[in-house]
Amino acid sequence: MKIPRLLQAVLVLAGVYFGFIVVFDIVLDAVIPSSLLAMYMFFVTAGVFMVFTHDEEQTRELVVPIKALVEDPSNRLWRNIVFVVVPLAAGGGAYMQMQPSFDAPLELRTIHPAPPSTAKIYGERVNLLKLTNPFRETEKKDPEKFRELVDAGAAVYIQNCQYCHGDKLDGNGPFAAGLNPTPLNFQDVGTIAQLQESYLFWRIATGGPGLPKEAAPWISSMPVWQDFLKEDEIWKVILYLYDYTGHRPRSWEHE
């Protein structure tokens, strides 16, 4: 029994398709993006049909079943089925593709990526391991001055940060509902209470775009505050974050 040419072509394509899946999934243990697979299959399909139609005789053989389906009166029932099912399937497929998805994207995010040891902040390379809050010492040495600095930090916060992080620092600002990832809740013990002031300084100064590669894919709306605030304003707002929430920044000495 001879396999019809059209079926042969389809079998070759199916074989290549499963071949790709086997090679990527099992041999390389890597997920192949569906867009890439579609691209490969496009070229493979073009190649297969070029080979299968390389002379008149073969082309005629290839289209025999299609011609029979369309022209042969005895195939009426099949013709009607195919002409209903194929457009419906195409329409359904297009509909499913266009439908927006409300599921959160499957992304593994590192919420607190390890900071780089140095970062470019205000045009200078700073060593994040050595960086400390220049105002922290006033907390003990000059409590009155410290209150002033915290108040100045509060003003910076209310003017710039509460829209997202909330006026109670709980991540529930008026914009928060529209953002994904959501602004972080500083009251939560999982955020600033776990972190050092230098880490906060780095995160605030460089914002979402400053996040390292391992934190990707990351579409954080956290602005790059070194473009809008002065260095001392960032240190003051950090004092305020810890003062308001009652958390203590982590430091190397305590570890």
CB of 24 to ligand HEC, least distance (A): 32
Residue of 113, 138, 126, 141 lying closest to 201 (CA atoms)? 126
CB of 126 to ligand HEC, least distance (A): 16
Question: Is position 200 an interface residue for ligand HEC (rule: CB under 6 A)?
Answer: yes
Question: Is position 9 an interface residue for ligand HEC (rule: CB under 6 A)?
Answer: no
Give how far Cα 163 sits from Cα of 157, 187, 211, 222, 228, Å. 9, 16, 21, 11, 15
CB of 108 to ligand HEC, least distance (A): 15
* Residue 197 near residue 133, CB atoms below 8 Å: yes
CB of 210 to ligand HEC, least distance (A): 9
Work out which of 135, 225, 235, 242 binds ligand HEC, going by CB under 6 A.
Answer: 225
Nearer to ligand HEC, 5 or 162 (CB): 162
CB of 125 to ligand HEC, least distance (A): 21
Residue of 118, 232, 248 lying closest to 195 (CA atoms)? 248
Question: Is position 169 an interface residue for ligand HEC (rule: CB under 6 A)?
Answer: no
- Sorted by sequence, the CB contacts under 8 Å of residue 147 that are 6+ apart come out as none
* Residue 66 near residue 6, CB atoms below 8 Å: yes
- Specify the stretch interacting with ligand HEC by CB under 6 A; choose among 35-43, 50-58, 183-191, 245-253: 183-191
Instruction: Report the alpha-carbon distance of residue 152 to residue 160 in Å, rounded.
Output: 12
- Specify the stretch interacting with ligand HEC by CB under 6 A; choose among 16-24, 47-55, 86-94, 214-222: 214-222
Give how far Cα 142 sits from Cα of 138, 145, 152, 155, 252, Å. 5, 5, 16, 20, 23
Question: Is position 149 an interface residue for ligand HEC (rule: CB under 6 A)?
Answer: no
Instruction: Report the alpha-carbon distance of residue 63 to residue 146 in Å, rounded.
Output: 85
What is the chain's length?
255
Question: Is position 212 an interface residue for ligand HEC (rule: CB under 6 A)?
Answer: no
Nearer to ligand HEC, 17 or 175 (CB): 175
Residue of 146, 147, 126, 244 lying closest to 192 (CA atoms)? 244
Work out which of 17, 49, 52, 163 binds ligand HEC, going by CB under 6 A.
Answer: 163
Contact positions with ligand HEC (CB under 6 A) in 33-92: none
Question: Is position 181 an interface residue for ligand HEC (rule: CB under 6 A)?
Answer: yes
CB of 182 to ligand HEC, least distance (A): 6
Residue of 229, 232, 227 lying closest to 209 (CA atoms)? 227
Residues lying near ligand HEC in the complex (CB under 6 A): 112, 160-161, 163-165, 175, 179, 181, 183-184, 191-192, 195, 200, 203-204, 208, 220-223, 225, 237
